Structure 1
Amino acid sequence: MSLRVEALSVSMPGGPVLSGVSLALNRGEIVGLTGSSGAGKSVIADAIAGALPAGAVLSGRITIDGAAAGHGSIALAPQLLGALDPLARVGTQIDRFARLAGRRVDLHSALADVGLPQGAARKFPHELSGGMARRVLLATALATGAEWIVADEPTVGLDDEAAGRIMSLLAELAASGRGVIVISHDLIRLAEIASHILIMHDGQPVETAPASAFMATEQRLHHAFSRALWQAQPGTRFTC
């Protein structure tokens, strides 16, 4: 099975914010998406997951095996921790997402799948660490039963250890057969788990490169912006 985004463009009431975005993803694969702040990465996430705000105008195609992506086939783990309901316990929120998708969830398995202790089900969001809250967001996405997951900035604000655990979890989700799109400024970790990475700048795709191009000792990126983005990462340099 494959998910394809073709010539995706999005306009808001103030004008166009995204144009000409294309990517392809197979089950069992991770595709990364990175770029400058304000490049439209979260807009892409919302568009793919069918979560664009009212007033947004979308053009292009989002398909799964050639057919239009149906409601509930793609789930979003959003960037903002505020997406969690502050008045509901974690277990209630995971169960709510499952029921909205017409499913029943085994809460024990739902927590275990994202590496959370069973006691987390009784906690409110404000009682969670940042890393735990990010795992809850993933758990709510997985509770829908969607085979395609979009994780928007899943490591933002986390320390190195917590960020590493989240990226490892996303790699495990792909290894289990899901297709995963990971949006992240953490380009070093992203290149470690993704098959290829789409680079965005000012609402436009700049380059789609295999992850190996970032990890190579010789410069294998074609666009100057891609090279600058990689070289801005701590400890990275190409050999000229």
Structure 2
Amino acid sequence: MNNRAVNNDAKSSNTDRKTVDNSTTPLLNVHDLSVSFTQYTRGLNQKELKVITNLNVSINHGEILAIVGSSGSGKSLLAHAILGILPANVIISGNMDYKGVSLIPKIQAELRGKEIALIPQSVNFLDPLMKVGKQVRSSVNNGNATKIQRNIFQRYNLEDKVDHMYPFQLSGGMTRRILVSTAIANEAQLIIADEPTPGLDTGIVNETIRTFRELADKGCGIMLITHDIETALKIADRIAVFYAGTTVEIAPVEDFSGNGNNLRHPYSKALWKALPHNDFRPIMGHQPPPNRLPKGCLFAPRCDKATVECHDILPKASSLRGGMVRCIHAS
């Protein structure tokens, strides 16, 4: 099936998925999350390196939220914070709730790999000493594990012999298909997919996003972390734009269209216009590293609309036209 057909399938199911869950409580709610790492400098002095600052994001039942942004913007760190798999030198503040319950370490351990599943960016998450078929079967919580695993493999064009292979015997594309298979086999309520499609051919990419759409239509929440805005546009309900460790905008997918005039934040608009099918206009400058964050708006040094106030104050997140934005000039 071609890309246009996939997009049409996703659009046709938008109406149906809104009736899956009428709960007013988000499946996942992250509010004012900040993440820092304690580091030792010369002379065994300690310093804190803040990599996420006042980040807000939420996912509803039956929703696909795509998270986009350049490398280093905090996308994967957010995923690891939700799952509770950050290193011991981490300092976390803010709130993370799953179904209204705070994600404290004990709860994270109980949910991880069961109700909350990760499709990781790194292929190293597979057990190198276990055959991949067994790894997928071990993630099945309900039903005939062998039948479920074989059906998933067939869906992703993985031959029967792959069942008995070890991770080192797989190609990069096959490994990513195994990672996707492992996550969808356990019937998780929240799936965090961190760059799940690089290295896959168009057919498998389309099959993967169709699977995500089907899972969302059944009530699951999907967090799709990606650099590929084009893929996100095919299936996402909303898109969250990250920059330098915070959320600068969350918008309905429909706002990413035309000239981007419906977008709220200058960075979102610049990101949209940088795409090849738009103006293909590069964004001048560079995203600041965590140890050199500006005092005020994180995008101010690159923004042609920045004023003195932008350089002095970090804007608060505010609701605007059915979305969220962190910019004092947004309208």
State which of 95, 102, 111 in structure 2 corresponds to 1:68.
Answer: 102
Aligned residues: CA RMSD:
2.4
State which of 71, 82, 85 in structure 2 corresponds to 1:37.
Answer: 71
Q: 1:145 to 1:68 in 2, by over 3 A?
A: farther
**Counterpart Cα distance in 1 of 2:99 and 2:139:** 25
Q: 1:231 to 1:164 in 2, by over 3 A?
A: farther
Following superposition, the deviation at residue 226 of structure 1 comes to: 0.9
The structure that is strand-richer by fraction is 1
Normalised to the residue count of structure 1, the TM-score between the two structures is: 0.87
Q: 1:41 to 1:154 in 2, by over 3 A?
A: same
Task: Name the counterpart of 1:22.
Answer: 56
CA contact (8 A) 2:189 2:221 kept: yes
CA contact (8 A) 2:193 2:225 kept: yes
Task: Name the counterpart of 2:88.
Answer: 54
**Counterpart Cα distance in 2 of 1:60 and 1:212:** 30
State which of 54, 77, 87 in structure 1 corresponds to 2:119.
Answer: 77
CA contact (8 A) 1:192 1:211 kept: no
Normalised to the residue count of structure 2, the TM-score between the two structures is: 0.64
CA contact (8 A) 1:48 1:74 kept: no
Identical pairs, percent: 37
Following superposition, the deviation at residue 104 of structure 1 comes to: 7.2
**Counterpart Cα distance in 2 of 1:10 and 1:218:** 31
Pick the structure with greater CA Rg. 2
Question: With CA pairs under 8 Å and 6+ residues apart, which has the higher RCO, 1 or 2?
Answer: 1
Q: 1:237 to 1:111 in 2, by over 3 A?
A: farther
**Counterpart Cα distance in 1 of 2:74 and 2:189:** 24
Indicate whether 1:3 and 2:3 are aligned.
no
Q: How is 1:180-219 mapped onto 2 (pairs within 5 angstroms)?
A: 180-216=222-258, 219=261
SS in 1 for 2:256: helix
**Counterpart Cα distance in 2 of 1:233 and 1:44:** 25
Q: 1:122 to 1:176 in 2, by over 3 A?
A: farther
